[in-house]
Structure formats: structure tokens, C-alpha cells
Structure 1
């Protein structure tokens, strides 16, 4: 009889995803799912593979993470699947001119949560880039991005590149896929100040993880002004043959 350890790596990750998807159906909202360490041992895959599968299920709204507590079955919610685009690409697509003001650009030891997200050893060096993103000079978003310094040690030399994706591609690490969690939240005091939002207003928060296959490239958290940003999501639906009506 074959075991999880006997299967090819790609098949193991498929089996892991199928297992977690079925487990979500069996458990109740808020129930704890097995830890990354348990899943790594059970399915014989790398921890980065486990994290990537969980990232996808988090993005799909099946699971949710609680820092320091674990991963749980998520309550039902609406979410979207989209292709990877940069802020600049999205703004240009709207016929506007993108811009940035660098707030933080530093290389430092990764905080524990960042190291875990990027599958790094504790204390490994990361680049942190925080920017105020603008469209036609108007503030649209605050972006905070973390990149493993080992992938591009000279990334910040000479200034922050306009596109982190393009810069990593130039260093031989082209982004191939990613996962996003999108949610609405009240703006923090700093976000209201930077985005020019008087009073308490909602922001759209996008938590994105970008990969080059199984290698984590960027973890970013971007807060968009709710009154300046809208998502366009094309929907495809299969139509069964039959009378037209309704």
C-alpha cells in the first residue's frame, strides 16, 4: 500500500489540498486544523509547500489564520480571484499616472511573523519597503512590503525601484503566482493622515503573498482608500442548453 511519503511531490500537494478541503466540510466554523508541522510530517512535503497550499485556501475563504494561535475553519464570505498585477499597471489601465512616496526603505532582521510568512529562519535579513501610492498625484493606498534580502541583496541600493515585481524579475526571480486575502477594515490614524481621510472611514486591505513557484518573494499589506478604489472581476459562467428565459 502506498503512503503519502511514496507519492510524487506534486501529487502530495494535491492530496494535501484535497485533505484540507474535505476537512473544512467536516469541521465547524472556528475549529482548529492541523498545524503546518503536523501536515509536513503527514504528507511528506516541505513546509513552504504546506504554507502555500494553506495560503490558497485562506485566499479562497476556506481557512483563516490567527497569529500565534493557528489556522481555523473560516466563516463563509465573499472573495475574488484575480491575476497578479502591480499598482502601477492597475493605475495605468485606468488612464492615470502612478506615483509613490517612500516612507520606509530599510534592510533589517525579519520580525517573527514576517520570517514565518516568508519561510525564513528567525533573524534572516529582509528588505522592508513602505510607500504611499498615488494616482495622478492623489493618495490612493499605503503599501507595506517585505522581501527576503537573500533573493536580491542590492535591491535597495540606488533607491527603491518603481516595481518590486520587475526588480525581482531582473534578479532572476520572476513572480509566477500568488494569493490574496481581501477585507474591509477601519483605517488606522496613520492611514487616515497619509491618505487624507478625515474622520473614521473604511479601507480595503489586500494581504498578498507572491511566489516564484514554491519560493516566497514578497509579502505585502496594502490599504486602499475605499472611495478611490474599485475592483473589476470578470465572471465566466457555463450555460446549459435550453430555452432562454428569466
Structure 2
């Protein structure tokens, strides 16, 4: 197998640093090309609206085959990061927020990715726990919990509609707190550090209200996440039920063989 590393790739009309693919790696070349471009798009080094050079020129610049290049481009089109326009070519559209599946908050992930999180608090009140909430938090049905509804933005775009229930004796929180900081940061400041969680990820269509709130069309695809988090002692700290715009958001799962 050749140890040669391909020539660098840059995108015309955009101040992008070179990208390289490694022929010695077991990772398929198309995936290397796609993930390198994805990283640059997510970091803003390839801006929204930038045009990607045609497959022939791109393949020649990389020293890979045209089918490899076509497959890399198609991968990013399917992920909603590129779009093909007749008469224009392939352009960058709004990048998705990729969130690693680990015990962190969306706010923390957006800050880490330099995505300028902003929060609109839609509801904050004390309610009796429903059966589902009580089961998740391991409390008696009807026990008072703090109910929180927030709309989370990445920059100027609405990204997620989040509902959380927290035992009232775990966290005393205000609208200002929730607007300025992430929920997990507030829990940590209160001395309650989430250590373990169960999480279920799914998908469904947006309701009319959800679509309007998230600036999507009714029936658009949403990703869903239901999570319960516990501290090191095994006490349930929060229950969350969130929906995310599938056109702007994805979960990233890293797998390895045991």
C-alpha cells in the first residue's frame, strides 16, 4: 500500500486551509474527504453559500477518482450540508450541529463548538409530577417539580425545543438563570453534578405548534431525545424531553470493536 499523502484540497473563493487525505488509513477515501469538508463547514472556514468546485476538478486536485469524490459530495448532500443547484453547482447550506452522544448539555456543546447559544424561556413553573415524570425521577406521582420549557438557538436560528422537570429541592432557578446559562451548568453550580444518564433518541414529524416555534414546515422531521440524569449517589436530577430540527442537527455516535 502506498504511503503517499494526497495533494491538499482548497475550495475556490473561500479562505480555506488545505485539507489532506491519507492513503495509508483504513478509513475509506470518500469518507475522509467528506469529513474534512464537514469539519471546515462546521467551523465556518467554508461559509454558507460558498460554491464547491466541480467533481472533475476536485478529484484531480485530490488525486482520487471521480466516483470517490462524487460519493463524498453525495454524503454531505444527504446530511444537509451541501445542496446541488442547477446552473449554480454545489453550494454550502446551513451546517448541522453535530452533538456527540455523551453526558453533556446542548448549551455546553454549542459553546464548545462556538455556535453562540441563546435561550428563550417559554415556561417556568411548579407542577405536580405526572406519572411519566414521577417514574423517570423516581418520586411519588403528584410530587411538586419545576417544569421548564425553553427554545434554544444556535446563532439566530432556532434549533431545539426543550422540556425539563427537576425536583424542587434540587434546584431553585429563575428565568434569568435559564436565559444566561445551560441547565447542567446551573446544576453543577448548585452542587448537583450529573454523572450518569439513560437516553433514548428517536424521530417523528413536527406538530403545527412545534413547526411554527422552530421555523419549520408542519410535518418536517424532528429528532427526539428523552433523558434522565442521576448524580454519583444515584439521585435523579432531571428529566428531559427535547425535539431538534433534523435539518440543522444530528447526533454523533463513535463505535469501536470490543
TM-score using structure 2 length: 0.57
Contact 1:125 1:150 in 2 (8 A): no
1:233 and 1:84 mapped to 2: Cα distance? 12
Equivalent residue, structure 2, for 1:156: 174
Find the counterpart in structure 1 of residue 203 from structure 2: 184
Q: CA deviation at 1:137?
A: 1.5
The residue number in structure 1 matching 2:14 is none
Mapped to 2, the partners of 1:200 and 1:157 lie a distance apart of 30
Q: What is the 5 A alignment of 1:4-153?
A: 82-152=101-171
**Offset of 1:223 from its aligned partner?**
0.3
Structure 1 or 2, whichever has the larger Rg, is 2
CA deviation vs aligned residue, 1:28-48 (integer Å, no higher than 9, x gap): xxxxxxxxxxxxxxxxxxxxx
Partner of 2:250, secondary structure, is: coil
> Aligned partners of 2:102, 2:210: CA distance in 1, in Å?
26
Q: CA deviation at 1:109?
A: 1.8
Is 1:217 aligned to 2:237, yes or no?
yes
Deviation of 1:111 after TM superposition, in Å, equals: 2.0
SS in 1 for 2:251: coil
Question: Unaligned regions of 5+ residues in structure 2, if any?
Answer: 1-99
Q: CA contact under 8 A between 1:207 and 1:221: conserved in structure 2? A: yes
Report if aligned partners of 2:124, 2:175 keep a CA contact under 8 Å in 1: no
1:163 CA displacement: 1.6
Matched length: 158
> What do you get for the CA RMSD once the two structures are aligned?
2.0
Cα distance, 1:89 vs. partner? Answer: 2.0
1:201 paired with 2:220, answer yes
In 1: Cα distance, 2:230 partner to 2:187 partner: 11
For the structure 1 residues 83 and 156, does the alpha-carbon distance in structure 2 shift closer, same or farther, using more than 3 Å as the test?
same
Contact 2:101 2:252 in 1 (8 A): no
Q: CA deviation at 1:95?
A: 2.7
Q: CA deviation at 1:211?
A: 0.7
Distance apart, 1:231 and its partner CA: 2.0
Specify every segment of 5 or more residues in structure 1 that has no aligned partner in the other structure, as ranges. Answer: 1-80, 239-246
Question: Would the aligned equivalents of 2:108 and 2:182 in 1 still touch at CA under 8 Å?
Answer: no
After TM superposition, the structure 1 stretch with the greater mean CA deviation from structure 2, 91-100 or 158-167, is 158-167
Secondary structure (helix, strand or coil) at the match of 1:150 reads coil
Does the 8 Å CA contact 1:107/1:126 hold for their aligned counterparts? Answer: yes
- Matched with 2:249 is 229
